[in-house]
Chain A
Amino acid sequence: MSSKKMITLKSSDGRIFEVEEAVAQESQTIKHMIEDGYGNSVIPLPNVTGRILYKIIEFCTKHVAVEEDIKQKSVEPTVVVEDVKQKSVEPTVVEDVKQKSVELPVDDDAWDAEPSDIDEWDAQFIDVDESTMFELIVASNYLNIKRLMDLSAQAIADMMKDKTVEEIRKIFNIQNDFTPEEEMKIRNENSWAYE
């Protein structure tokens, strides 16, 4: 076990994650918080659920590993997940919790991947349902993780390409605030685009 500095993150639903500093710093938002001196206490992320934060940590861990060219199968980043009762929001150590060491899913082939296979890994990573894609893009925007923002934005764009206007509204949960006349006027400006 290396003696790297660990950063503690707390999701909106109270789950605690401990990650290596290098992994946490994939997020520019967290990086700035660390630089401002908050790295020694629990960093709350009230906009990110535990489920999504878990996935994001998986993404960042993978990319840090690829950058450091780690090819050892046995080195899995460990994530300490503590189930806590949401009584108070204290940035200090919480007592009376069960400590479970949860390992991120280790796909042997994935960890062994050459850097050029990272695009394939990314493609598999983002191959999720629509609502997860949206949660990822919102969270990665908040956490300012450019690579993940671009990946999820591209996935959503690819999914949107052939959809109709109504379908797009449904996906984004948008209310149509045009009157029928207004909408008709806009459509007529580029009527050929709707064929």
Chain B
Amino acid sequence: MSPFPDEIIANILSRLPVKCILRSRCVSKPWLALISTSYFVKLHLNRSVQTKSNLDLLLWDGDTYRVDFDSLDNDVIQPVDVDNHPLRCYKNYETLWGSCDGLLCMSNPIGDVILWNPSTRKSIKLPYTPTEIASEKKVFGNTRRERVYQLGYDNINGDYKVVRLVVLYGSDFQDFEVKVYSLKSNSWHKSENCLHCPDFNRTGNSIAGGAVHWISDVMLDSKKESSIVAFDIRTEKYRVIPPPEFCGIDSGLYLDNLEGCLSLSYQYQSTSVDVFLLKEYGGKSEYWSKFVTISPTIQFASVYAVKPIAYSKSGKKVLLDLNFKILVWYNLEHDSFEEIWVDGMNKFLDVLTCVESLVSVDVAAAVTNSNAKKNLHKKEENNMNNFLSKGFKLKRRGGGGVMQRIDEEFQIIMVEAKVLQEQLLIKEVQVGAIIPIRQHEARYEEGLSLNSRFVFFLSQKRGGGGGLLQKVDEETDQMLEAFGFMVYCYCIMKIMEF
């Protein structure tokens, strides 16, 4: 009965705190449907991240505490014990490993690992997976193992991943294992070809640019050097990133990240620390840029490690954790420091931000939903398959092209251009624009035009593509038939023979 189009409701609701949105789920069926879409979850998440609202600061010293990010404007903060997380029943402490899009990764001493969304209060326990380090079996004598978890997001596959690094220390050797957990498949697998054993003492939350990083002592030109190893969580490929010049081996290096940008704090002369940020990540001109220098002339006696945490809302200050003991705002304009007194805590082994989000850890629901959608659009899918089975050529304005199947499923969303214009009042869509079409997010690629009768979007989860689906006469290039109607369906496209 509401006269408001979905995009208006989505615009409004995406500005509300999570609690309010969860209440709104029972307003009506259309509202429930809208709130449950991944489009809306992302819209809400992106808005919170951009405006730095609905943000918490979590501090961990064996127990986990939280405080509103906004309260950091005060000189004193009073963090509150987070006592409602799913691991709480264990008397021993929990370990907080990381935060991503509102999800937290935590574990307890007996090895339970969970992904938990504190805003929706939903969690999932990761399945158990053993360590499978081959050399372990051949070892005699004492060994010990150390484990680290890192949580990240694979934006091509739209999947949250947990990377587990296990290092095995023997009396005269070291070996290690990397395993990756995918939320979508709710399973672990081992990553082979591991190089360069991690040194956990020098690694904090080091997820940046879609990769997990660690410091390793690597042989370069027959000399041992401390280097940074990057492990891409999607491709599971490794690369070595050299540290900034003049960082010698065994210098006080500490790897962390500042809002997704890899940071390296480097202690020299046993008194001062330089903090570098890795800019233009993954590009040809990737470089380390010096961010701040902390030396004893400022109020701190000696600093050996710096964990950057977050920028302030205005962007003029940066929150830093010095020596895992002192929380300060560093003012970028004035090159000055303001300490924040934390009531009730005297060490901060980990400090991270956690945004309030609707991101789901519900594996079962994801599978059920996709089945339901498949059934619902079976008829359209059959039509589509008939159309496709007779052969087609995917044509882009200004050039031809044939769409080939890669071993993944594509969602094809087809819209009649007229409808797109009328309903969404879009005359011209900008390249890269994310368009909500019936609550599905589709990416519009360059070269497409709404002058054609049909517009077709190819959405590979968060990926994108597009074209105009026509049957063309291969020789004359004339359009024989075009296919389009307002629908969302799954379809595996086959490599076409003409």
Contact = CB atoms under 8 A, between A and B. Distances in A.
Contact of A153 (B11, B29, B428): B11
B121 interface: yes
A157 B13 contact: yes
Say what secondary structure dominates the interface of chain A.
helix
B20 A172 contact: no
Contact of B29 (A29, A150, A178, A187): A178
B8 A138 contact: yes
Given A173-B2, A174-B2, A186-B32, A165 B8 contact: no
Given A175-B1, A177-B29, A153 B12 contact: yes
A174 B28 contact: yes
B26 A142 contact: no
Contact of A142 (B25, B32, B121, B425): B425
B471 to A, nearest CB: 30
Contact of B15 (A153, A168, A173): A153
A36 B425 CA distance: 14
B25 A141 contact: no
A32 B430 CA distance: 13
Say what secondary structure dominates the interface of chain B.
loop
A164 B251 CA distance: 58
A178 B425 contact: no
B16 A160 contact: yes
B438 interface: no
A169 B9 CA distance: 13
Interface in A106-134: 134
Interface string B105-132: 0000000000000001100000000000
B431 to A, nearest CB: 16
A134 B25 CA distance: 21
A49 interface: no
B22 A193 contact: yes
Interface in B401-431: 425, 427-428
B17 interface: yes
B7 interface: yes
B3 interface: yes
Nearest to B11: A153
A156 interface: yes
B298 interface: no
Given A174-B27, A175-B1, A178-B28, A160 B425 contact: no
B4 A161 contact: no
A176 B25 CA distance: 11
Interface string A151-173: 00110110011001100110011
Interface string A12-48: 0000000000000000110010001000000000000
B3 A138 contact: yes
A149 interface: yes
B24 interface: yes
A3 B314 CA distance: 41
A190 interface: yes
Contact of A177 (B17, B28, B121): B28
A149 B22 CA distance: 23
A165 B425 contact: no
Given A153-B12, A160-B12, A193-B19, A165 B27 contact: yes
B28 A157 contact: no
Contact of B121 (A144, A192, A194): A192
A32 B427 contact: yes
B480 to A, nearest CB: 30
Nearest to B16: A157
A189 B7 CA distance: 25
B5 interface: yes
A194 B13 CA distance: 17
Interface of B: 1-5, 7-8, 11-13, 15-17, 19-20, 22-29, 31-32, 120-121, 425, 427-428
15 contacts: A32-B428, A137-B4, A138-B4, A149-B8, A149-B11, A153-B8, A156-B12, A157-B13, A161-B17, A168-B24, A168-B27, A172-B4, A186-B25, A186-B26, A194-B23
